[in-house]
Structure 1
């Protein structure tokens, strides 16, 4: 008789991958990083089963009851058929979560959690307004926390659940999600819902779609070229950074001027308290084993990290109006990008063309020498004055020598 472990080998199945991965916990190797462990967990409100019932989220439970009751029309108007929909579809909804995310709840309690949290989330999506937090009967600082908690990987509710609880059709529900992001620094606006189809599995996926909307990577380049040139080095080589207007923050391009310079065009980057949890959870989502993707967000942050090594690099980006620093010092911003991008495995093909163009610029000796000379002698008013003074001294010395050899008659 074959040992048990051999029987397990025969029964094992290949891990499935799809465009609609299950809602699951953040991978252990990401969560174990001590600087970021708190950024994967909700601070005020839990949505879904993973963090349900945690002691520090009890205030959030009271808020969810209030929002769900308001969404349903008040305590005397709760339509029981909505809850019955969840009960009837509970087996289908369970398939949208990983096994370890729901094993601590039986079907009855899971249906209760999904019903209450789904109604609360729909009320938030419909009434969310940071300028008017009283609409949701909370203070603005609490609404900011709710906003951040809604975008955590472990705090997602399935789109299919919201469909069961919402009177809107799929397109209207997707538009409601898009409108929610109008209050964010991330790109938003008049997106064609058709371009965002198929409909997102959850809110975090919708955010990722909006970030990547209109992304046009330049694929012509050598994937083997790995360029690590920070902003200060690029400037010394005659490459200036310029802000470009693009809906997609990932649309970074490079162009060469007619003379000796180059131009690295980067969409606006807003750095504040939300950037770390937002991008870290987007990265964690890309790293889910059942999510097939091209690691676009990871590649973007890895490329930014290659540009930002020191506070001087942040200062140059601010001077070019590419980066808005709402976090604090330039040193904090540089440290943030250096730590966020640790252990990332990007798709090098995404920015291969930009890297190749930068390397080509560096390989041109004449361009590099000319740019370095300009950077060394004409980068500040004092160096310009020094060069002009030295030139005048040289001219006067030449004139004096000339008349010493050939005195005037």
Structure 2
């Protein structure tokens, strides 16, 4: 149905589109594992085709056109464009990102409505913006006065669109849609991240066994390590800074809902594919978060700091979710190495931790501070009264 809609919208001859697939079927065939092709080439399944290549070309033609229609028209705000309900559209968008459903980028490029590869990449990125990993754009003050600057905003959007298309033409082509999603998630734009990479060699001399032992949120809070939400949702934007007695751990904003588990597991499965050389960025991030979340109290602290947006259920469910996701994960030891080293250094500083523990224990809340201040004032007044009693004014 969606393949037919796509062909109708682009006004191109479907036979010519299929010929593009048939002419490149040998290269496209190389993207699929032998066991997958074996399932497709059974005698019964080839009854209506002259060869495996012919059957595969038609399968890729239909699936590719359907996916391109989804990329162009899938919008949770306008599900009617896909002629389905919003809950069904969510499932369709999730299925489009499943590892087993990925189609080669070459296929999408061959079936795209024109020769502009930049527009195809732009459409793919626009589709991925609906996902929770995408960092929400900050609203400008102009958006509060819609209607007064319509012409200006329209020109601005057209210019931004033109620049985006130009940038896409210069970017590296992804392997498939899921590969593009992973690249976007792990975009390294923070200066802190660059510093982290630059200091990996210096931190490499530290005891790696000690650095791998993380403390949960409650333990970090007890030694004066506070939490702060970063400006993005990128796993690469994790940082650590120290003050006189306290320190600050910066974490990206995380949205947790019914799709979080499948999304994490899907990306982790992709990183663990034997033929995919990568730095295990998603695996390392999942393991890092799991090392910080042991109990519902840790989730509650993350929520209070605006880091974790819980749409799943109770805090206990979220804690269990990260524990399940990170089961048997082996992270990249060099990822977050500088952050782990700084946490360990701060944790082992007895002077700072004792002061922080004292503040955490006796001044953990405004009432505790008020009580201390009242007691201190009472002590000072008692001292002054005693002084004047012993040394009366002449």
TM-score > 0.5 by shorter chain: yes
Map 1:225-236 to 2 at 5 A. 225-236=211-222
Query: 1:147 Cα shift?
Result: 0.6
Query: 1:169 Cα shift?
Result: 2.8
Query: 1:250 Cα shift?
Result: 2.5
Matched residue pairs, number?
340
Query: 1:300 Cα shift?
Result: 0.8
Is residue 69 of structure 1 aligned with residue 16 of structure 2?
A: no
The answer to whether the Cα contact below 8 Å between 2:240 and 2:249 also exists between their aligned partners in 1 is yes
Is residue 182 of structure 1 aligned with residue 129 of structure 2?
A: yes
| Alignment-derived partner of residue 260 in structure 1 | 245
Using the alignment, how far apart are the partners of 2:68 and 2:169 within structure 1? 21
3-state SS of 1:254 partner: strand
3-state SS of 1:288 partner: coil
Using the alignment, how far apart are the partners of 2:180 and 2:379 within structure 1? 65
Query: 1:146 Cα shift?
Result: 0.3
Structure 1, 378-387 or 325-334: larger mean CA deviation: 378-387
Using the alignment, how far apart are the partners of 1:168 and 1:282 within structure 2? 30
The answer to whether the Cα contact below 8 Å between 2:117 and 2:169 also exists between their aligned partners in 1 is no
- RMSD, matched Cα: 2.4
Using the alignment, how far apart are the partners of 1:195 and 1:288 within structure 2? 27
Query: 1:380 Cα shift?
Result: 1.8
Using the alignment, how far apart are the partners of 2:81 and 2:56 within structure 1? 29
Query: 1:294 Cα shift?
Result: 0.7
| Alignment-derived partner of residue 246 in structure 1 | 232
Deviation string, structure 1 residues 90-141 (Cα, Å, up to 9, x no partner): 2221110111122111323322221111110011111111111111111111
Using the alignment, how far apart are the partners of 2:122 and 2:392 within structure 1? 87
TM-score (norm 1): 0.77
In the alignment, which of 214, 225, 234 is matched to residue 188 of structure 2?
A: 214
| Alignment-derived partner of residue 140 in structure 2 | none
TM-score (norm 2): 0.80
Query: 1:181 Cα shift?
Result: 1.3
Using the alignment, how far apart are the partners of 1:359 and 1:393 within structure 2? 40
Deviation string, structure 1 residues 266-306 (Cα, Å, up to 9, x no partner): 12111111211111111111100001111111011111111
| Alignment-derived partner of residue 62 in structure 1 | none
Deviation string, structure 1 residues 125-175 (Cα, Å, up to 9, x no partner): 111111111111111111000011111111101111111211243222111
| Unpaired runs of at least 5, structure 1 | 1-65
The answer to whether the Cα contact below 8 Å between 1:214 and 1:247 also exists between their aligned partners in 2 is no
Structure 1, 319-328 or 385-394: larger mean CA deviation: 385-394
* CA distance 1:392–1:247, change in 2 (3 Å): closer
Q: Which protein is richer in helix relative to its size? A: 2
* CA distance 1:397–1:383, change in 2 (3 Å): same
| Alignment-derived partner of residue 269 in structure 2 | 284
| Alignment-derived partner of residue 102 in structure 1 | 37
Using the alignment, how far apart are the partners of 1:407 and 1:175 within structure 2? 84
